[in-house]
Amino acid sequence: MVKRIAMVGAAVLVLGGAAGAATSEDDALAKGRQAANVLTDTLRDQQIANVREKGAGASLPQCYYQALTVSKEVETTTGVRIKRTSSKLRNPGNAPDSFEQEALARFERFARDGMMPSDEIRKEKLDGKPVFRYVKPITMGASCIPCHAEKSALSEDVLRALDEKYPEDKAVGYKVGDLRGILSAVIPVE
């Protein structure tokens, strides 16, 4: 059974002291939220700065590389493996596994019904080991639209960058507030 969590306020937690496996569902939930907040806040802030400095087309590949770097930092610092995934992929390397496919289907249903939870956590086995699986919806912010809007609304430099870097891109057609995908974290169990 999946536990749905309604988060009242978002707090950015500091990575320090979070290393190690989770001892309880509450501990895993805190670690998942912390990893998700660090990843989203860092990527958003870096991408806004990159777009201002270089323009959306030139900064598009940076989002990919920054996500990899920050995800690795989070895993190294906390032991939490985190990634972004979606039903409409830009990077095929971010394809959802079966757990994430189920979570995406649930969150897409929640979005249609207007009942979006802030996150979910579940304990399961992964590669024969007990882990907690944490997921959080990614909703489109205004800073994401220059690279994820309807193709007809994208700038020429973004279209060129997409054609060069992601010729099979499906991650367009969004509006502010739309469900873009999920953040997915794997938290080891102590």
Global confidence as pTM: 0.83
Over range 131-153, report the average pLDDT. 93
Query: In the prediction, which pLDDT does 80 show?
Result: 94
Query: In the prediction, which pLDDT does 16 show?
Result: 39
Asked if the model's pLDDT at residue 8 lies above 80, the reply is no
How do the domains of the chain map onto residue ranges? 18-188
Asked if the model's pLDDT at residue 14 lies above 70, the reply is no
Burial (CB < 10 A; 0-12, 13-18, 19+), residue 34, is buried
The predicted-structure confidence for 20-78, as pLDDT tens digits, reads as follows: 677 899 999 999 999 999 998 888 888 888 888 888 888 887 777 888 888 999 889 88
Query: In the prediction, which pLDDT does 154 show?
Result: 94
Q: How far apart are CA 25 and CA 18, in angstroms?
A: 15
CATH number of 18-188: 3.30.450
> Residue 5 corresponds to which amino acid?
I
34 HSE (CA, 13 A, CB side): 23
Over range 132-149, report the average pLDDT. 93
The predicted-structure confidence for 86-123, as pLDDT tens digits, reads as follows: 999 998 989 999 999 999 999 999 999 999 999 999 99
Query: In the prediction, which pLDDT does 46 show?
Result: 87
DSSP string, the chain: -PEEE--SS--PPPSTT--S-BSSHHHHHHHHHHHHHHHHHHHHHHHHHHHHHH-HHHHHHHHHHHHHHHHHHHHHHHS-EEEEE-SS-SSGGG---HHHHHHHHHHHHHHHHT---SEEEEEEEETTEEEEEEEEEEE--GGGHHHHS-GGGS-HHHHHHHHHH-TT-------TT-EEEEEEEEEEB-
Q: How far apart are CA 73 and CA 80, in angstroms?
A: 10
Query: In the prediction, which pLDDT does 6 show?
Result: 29
Query: In the prediction, which pLDDT does 47 show?
Result: 84
